[in-house]
Chains A and B, each alone.
Chain A
């Protein structure tokens, strides 16, 4: 792990205390009921953590990328679902950070500073990995846009104040006709549809968004028409490490719970778990350590304004896959106890990390393209 500054250590400590007080004691309950509870927003309001990525001039905490990763790892450690609530809200405001003008930033960031949350609305029933085949339309009429369509699997939808919605301003141009918009809760015609019941991250709110002739002012357009996909991709670059951080937190939690369980089961120092179990723990530690380094390196690239798109994809893939591996191993290792206790939640929560914000297959496409593109240049140089 990166060497944290004193300030970062302080933030980590404060976050850890917050998670221990407000998240860990309630995680199992909301996992069971499968609902998001806004108590979380009330508890977090004073800390302004939902504005951790908002720049200072808009009243936010302006945390560096690395600090954000530290915070998200702690939240993931407490509960993957509640961590997702935070990560998805930051994801939505990242779009405004990328493509919004000053006035838009003021408008979008203000609720975050007040402790409210936002949603990122790209996915549709027919547009999952193929985000470009979105069908929601935004037709310009006068100085307004009228939005029609459906978004699905939108995190926080039922509780967000603000949304970034991706819609086609020019359906004939396909993905090049996609644009990004701010849509506020309460606009007539904008309703919440079905709530999804999920295998994991059940304390996170996941819903359908329904748009029927929703009028928004033209000033809600983020950037220019047709730049939607570019904005979405830049947003996801920023947001992918957040998922990596959540995944890392889940993995660390799984390892810690394993150790706690084994210490209870083998209280006599003369009778300890055999090598098979010991080596499994070592492997879990090796992977978590490597993942954390990868993630922190990626964050330091971003903080140094160095391009980090590929590293972002690597971090998300690596951390997501390892969280799955570590949690499955943990459940197996803890046997019947693992299967009948909260440990199984970690395994269920980990699975989504390989799927959302770009499946790990999509990430591999991004990474392999970069690998294939770079090789010839390096070989040429070597040839000289």
Chain B
């Protein structure tokens, strides 16, 4: 891999940072207070080509690749992680359709997803611990007319605002998790309702809700990939999610350490700026280092994806690395700011609340360990 970004990737990252400063910084506090979906900002992000970032030009995408994707996500997250969440979750649906869709499906869905005219979402979780297994699984029964879906998908991000859902359902209870099938579901499908919006600790502004399916009838053409391809689709899409969420995490960590560093220079106690105290320097240095190392891991995994090489193990590693560290980054930077880091008049409490959610909502907690171990032990 090349450690350095290409000229284009650097420009893209720089521009994303400029975009975030101009359009996200002014709204981020209010967004956190109201949690109201920022439709205006999503439109602006679409105008920057963020919503179809890695799609081929034939579908209106920018073909910018996945390294650019993580550059954009990190830079958006430095200002407003919630807005980045909207893009990440939309992109998971886009990825799945691009990767497993038929020519007809791609033609039908991708152009409007790329332009931002429609918003995507990816629905995997259920009330039971393993998607597709047990009484809580979303069931898809094959009938003459098509597929009938019954059940509930939980904690779906972008739910309620999304137009297109990629949904995983169990198509054969006897086979359980192995029989997951992916479907493309329109938000307008009869029998599909969105539950009450969930109140989240942070990342407010990115909607989270359950999707309820009551005898939702889908045509055969709604099946995404082969009927038995669901588990593979889930694993790969969640690996992409891992990389993107890692970029979010690093963006938040970077914003936090920069704020804490600036604070420590101006906060004078014991006759000197606390920045001169070794203990403070350690907290800052560890956070900055964690961000830096993670960033390289993220870039590597993204580049593998760009080159069409296997990337799931590397994606799992980056998720694993940050799962252990992401809280620490904000615990330490809040600690640097002391009482001020605990006051909601300052930005760190919001970042604290945001970062707790970046490695959570899209994959089971032990997926990275299993993936990495499987690779080692094969």
Tell me which of A335, A351, A359 contacts B365 (CB under 8 A).
A335
Q: Which residue of B lies closest to A262 (CB)?
A: B129
Question: Does A185 touch B at the CB level, under 8 Å?
Answer: no
B361 close to A335 (CB less than 8 A): yes
Can you list, as one digit per residue, whether each of A329-372 has a CB less than 8 Å from chain B (1) or not (0)? 00111011111100010011001101110011100100000000
Given contacts A265-B129, A276-B369, A328-B327, contact A344 B201 (CB under 8 A): yes
Q: Would you call B327 and A355 a contact (CB within 8 A)?
A: no
Contact of B349 among A199, A332, A333, A356 (CB under 8 A): A199
**A residues 185-229 touching B (CB-CB < 8 Å):** 196-200
Contact status of A340 and B200, CB under 8 A, knowing A199-B352, A324-B331: yes
Q: Which residue of A lies closest to B203 (CB)?
A: A339
Query: How many Cβ-Cβ contacts under 8 Å join chain A to chain B?
Result: 117
Q: Residues 121-153 of chain A: 1 if any B CB is under 8 Å from the residue's CB, otherwise 0?
A: 001001111100100000000000000000011
Q: Could you tell me which residues of chain A, from 291 to 348, have a CB within 8 Å of some CB in chain B?
A: 324, 328, 331-333, 335-340, 344, 347-348
B contact residues around A348 at 8 Å (CB): 201, 352-353
Bound Cα distance from A308 to B359, whole angstroms: 41
Chain A residues near B360: list those with CB within 8 A. 331-332, 335-336, 338-339
Q: Are A130 and B269 in contact (CB under 8 A)?
A: yes
Distance to closest chain A CB from B311 (angstroms): 23
Q: Report whether B366 and A336 are in contact in the complex, using a CB–CB cutoff of 8 Å.
A: no
The answer to whether B365 and A199 have CB atoms under 8 Å apart is no
Question: Is there contact, CB below 8 Å, between A351 and B331?
Answer: yes
Chain A residues whose CB sits within 8 angstroms of the CB of B191 once the complex forms: none
Which of B178-186, B217-225, B332-340 is found at the contact surface with chain A?
A: B332-340
A274 close to B (CB within 8 Å): yes
- Decide if B199 touches A340 in the complex (CB within 8 Å): yes
| B4: Cβ under 8 A from any A Cβ | no
> Is A340 a contact partner of B352 (Cβ separation < 8 A)?
no
One of A266, A273, A331 near B356 (C-beta < 8 A)? A331
Is residue A277 within 8 Å, beta carbon to beta carbon, of the partner chain?
yes
Shortest distance between the CB of B318 and any CB in chain A (Å): 16
Q: Is the CB of B269 within 8 A of A277?
A: no
Complex CA gap A364/B201 in Å reads: 31
Given contacts A277-B366, A340-B200, A197 and B345 within 8 Å (CB-CB):
yes
| Chain B residues near A133 (CB-CB < 8 A) | 269-271
Quick one: given A197-B345, A340-B199, are A332 and B359 in contact (CB under 8 Å)?
A: yes
Residues of B within 8 A of A359 (CB): 335, 338
Residue of B nearest to A344 (CB): B201
Chain B residue contacts of A361, Cβ below 8 A? 279-280, 335
Contact with A along B350-370 (1 / 0, CB 8 A): 001100110111001110010
> Scoring B residues 186 to 210 as 1 if CB is less than 8 Å from chain A, else 0, what string do you get?
0000000000001111100000100
A328 and B343 contacting across the interface, CB-CB below 8 Å:
no
Q: Is B109 an interface residue (CB 8 A)?
A: no
Docked complex Cα distance between A266 and B345 (Å) = 41
**Of B200, B343, B366, the contact of A198 (CB 8 Å cutoff):** B343
A4-37 interface (Cβ within 8 A of B): none
User: A130, B270: Cβ atoms under 8 Å?
Assistant: yes
The residue that B201 contacts in the complex, of A198, A265, A339, with Cβ under 8 A, is: A339
Most chain-A Cβ atoms within 10 A of its Cβ — which of B129, B271, B352, B353?
B129
Among B127, B352, B361, B365, chain A packs the most CB atoms within 10 A around the CB of B365
Rounded to whole angstroms, the CA-CA distance of A331 and B364 in the bound complex is 13
CB-contact partner of B155 in A153, A268, A336, under 8 A: A336
- How many Å lie between the Cα of A130 and that of B277 in the bound state? 13
Given A199-B344, A324-B331, A339 and B357 touching (CB < 8 A)? yes
Nearest neighbor of A360 in chain B, beta-carbon distance: B335
Residues of chain B contacted by A324 (CB below 8 angstroms): 331
Collect the chain B residues with CB atoms within 8 Å of residue A271's CB.
Answer: 129
Q: Which chain B residue has the least Cβ–Cβ distance from A274? A: B366
Which residues of A are found within 8 Å of B274, using beta-carbon distances?
129
Question: Would A355 and B356 count as touching, CB distance under 8 A?
Answer: no
Q: Are A128 and B356 in contact (CB under 8 A)?
A: no
B323 contacts the other chain (CB 8 A) = yes
Are the CB atoms of B334 and A332 closer together than 8 Å? no
Q: How far is the CB of A242 from chain B (nearest CB, A)?
A: 18
Answer whether A355 and B342 are a contact pair too, CB < 8 Å, given A276-B369, A331-B356, A339-B357.
yes
Confirm or deny: B125 has a beta carbon within 8 angstroms of a beta carbon on chain A: yes
Give the docked Cα–Cα distance between A265 and B134 (Å): 11
For the complex of A and B, list the 5 residue pairs with the smallest distance between their C-beta atoms, beginning with the closest.
A344-B201, A199-B349, A336-B155, A130-B269, A328-B327
